[in-house]
Chains A and B, each alone.
Chain A
Amino acid sequence: MELTVLGQDDANETASSCASGSCGSDNDQMAALPDAIRDKVKNHPCYSEEAHHYFARMHVAVAPACNIQCHYCNRKYDCSNESRPGVVSELLTPEEAVMKTKAVAANIPQMTVLGIAGPGDPLANPERTFETFRMLSEQAPDIKLCVSTNGLALPDAVDELAKHNIDHVTITINCVDPEVGAGIYPWIYWNNKRIYGRKAAKILIQQQQKGLEMLVERGILVKVNSVMIPGVNDDHLKEVSRIVKEKGAFLHNVMPLISEAEHGTFYGIMGQRGPEPEELQDLQDACAGDMNMMRHCRQCRADAVGLLGEDRGEEFTLDKIAEMDINYDEAMKTRAVIHAGILEELEEKDAKRARLAAASVPSSEPVANTRPVQMAVATSGGGLINQHFGHATEFLVYEASSRGVRFIGHRKVDQYCIGNDTCGDKESALSGSIRSLHGCEAVLCSKIGYEPWSQLEDAGIQPNGEHAMEPIEEAVMAVYEEMRVDGRLDETPEHAELARA
């Protein structure tokens, strides 16, 4: 299977706080996928950056048990305030999960995809997971099913997976070398024994690779998730990307390690750091030569509900579902109409985009090979620069170069210290924002106050409110062009000089 480089963002399966515009940037990557795959992912909010503004997804937490230990996971998962993989508030039985899925699908008709992602490993809970899938295939055939797994039990589950309405499986593969794996997985439960260290990692890796091959043989789409752990597997993930591509995975999602001490994970307690945004970006770029990369993953909870920019789980607790009177046959009719409408709208957008692309024939003048520039954008969705700097909880980072604009990734503002007690030198929320923009030379927003304006300038980042309500890519390109005309592309970026000073 030929894999072309998907520029970047298409997908975000794990998401929870997507500023929606975030995911709607570069559409070329969907276009680069083979038709058969594009057809399968066009209404999957996690795989199609375009679709995710229109279609919703949900996870049901039916799979508590796990058969391995990862150093970035804490098995004490009952927390409602955290938003990250493996965390859920309410464990469901398969019957409850089906009830919840139907309630969500009827109330949020844009919901097209149901995933089982934990809080443990779905395939280490085969009865609970497959019972849920079996019932849903029967009772809600218009919902796509997907599952994510650590891969240990995958080869044994492939035949059963193939029976259901499942065309996507996500395998978390953090290494292909047992030596590296021994630093990530302290043990696995295998053939009724606990196996430790290198030996455990070797078995896990073999199972993951075998499972990947078996799924590809059966025509089931495979996405690979990897957690980037600085000093452990960061460099190694390039090799992982190359190998999983070779074996036919269609998308690679490299995610940053989450290791806050208060989550109580081994890495958190031991003080293992996560990657800086730039380290993540560089690794994603390095992998992109080999593989379609997914850059929008927001690492959502194992019980997330709704569009990727929101979590509506609170509206669908068991108590609330019990009071709903759902007629799913009727709901399916409504859903079909809504889905067809959305797909039509997406096709129109595609056609429009194609017309625009055809119209903008490159000029015959030689394009100057100017250096690329990264810019941050504050957006609340719709692909527009439409958010006040001070309201942004995350920024989207774009790279402009003589070859055009591409989406690079998102930077959360609050993932940095914002001056609480866990931080030694108390930073203000503002300096937290500025820190999260490291590496960017400009920030585009709808409005910005005087204080952040001058602080951004001091940090070598040019604030820009002149492109409010304009489409992101066009605005980024316009700013890049201004920089070129001003001769600023010939200079060493100011922030680099500041960093050196």
Chain B
Amino acid sequence: MALAIVDTCVNCWACYDVCPSDAIYESKPHFKINARKCTECEGDYAHPQCASICPIEEAILDASGAAVNPPGSLTGIPPERMAEAMAEIQAR
């Protein structure tokens, strides 16, 4: 069981500092997770820490390959509400 960082990562270092297992390391072109060290924070925290601070949707995947932060989860705007939200914001 391990999480993985994919290429939408912007190298902001936030996850590196909060990982309780020291599983995250700096790498090119982006940070990576050492799958042998990653525990998905089980036993330490209710939620994986890297995915709780990562600012980019779909940059961290769970063991099944699904995005821990799917589209819309961080902006608070689900994809189907996007057009409506945009119109609202542009009317300001």
A contact residues vs B (CB 8 Å cutoff): 64-67, 69, 75-78, 120, 124-125, 186-187, 189, 192-194, 196-197, 230-232, 266-267, 270-273
B47 touches A193 (CB 8 A): yes
Contact B52 A232 (CB under 8 A): no
Tell me the dominant secondary structure on chain A's binding face: loop
Q: For chain B, what secondary structure do more than half of its interface residues adopt (helix, strand, loop), or is it mixed? A: loop
Partner of A230, one of B18, B45, B85, B92: B92
State the CA gap A266–B76 with chains docked (Å).
Answer: 11
Q: Is the CB of B92 within 8 A of A272?
A: yes
Check if A124 sits within 8 Å of B14, measured CB to CB: yes
Given the known inter-chain contacts A187-B74, A194-B53, please indicate yes or no for A75 contacting B92, CB distance below 8 A: no
Closest-by-CB residue of A relative to B20 is A192
Contacts of B10 in A (CB 8 A): 75-78
A-B residue pairs, 6 tightest by C-beta: A231-B92, A65-B14, A64-B13, A76-B10, A271-B90, A189-B53
A264 CB to closest chain B CB (Å) equals: 10
Name the A residues within 8 Å of B13 (CB-CB): 64-65, 120, 125
Mark contacts of B48-92 with chain A using CB atoms, 8 A cut-off: 1 yes-contact digit, 0 otherwise.
Answer: 010011011000000000000000001110000000011001111
Q: Find the B residue at minimum CB distance from A270.
A: B89
With A77-B12, A266-B75 as given contacts, are A66 and B90 in contact (CB-CB < 8 Å)?
A: no
Residues of B within 8 A of A194 (CB): 47, 52-53
Contact of B86 among A193, A231, A270, A273 (CB under 8 A): A270
Considering the complex, give the chain B residue whose CB is closest to the CB of A197: B76
In the complex with contacts A65-B17, A186-B74, A75-B89 CB distance below 8 A: no
In the complex with contacts A232-B92, A273-B92, A186-B86 CB distance below 8 A: no
The verdict on A69 contacting B52 (CB below 8 Å), with A75-B10, A231-B92 known, is no
A20 to B9, CA, bound (A): 39
Which residues of chain A come closer than 8 Å to B18, judged between CB atoms?
Answer: 189, 192
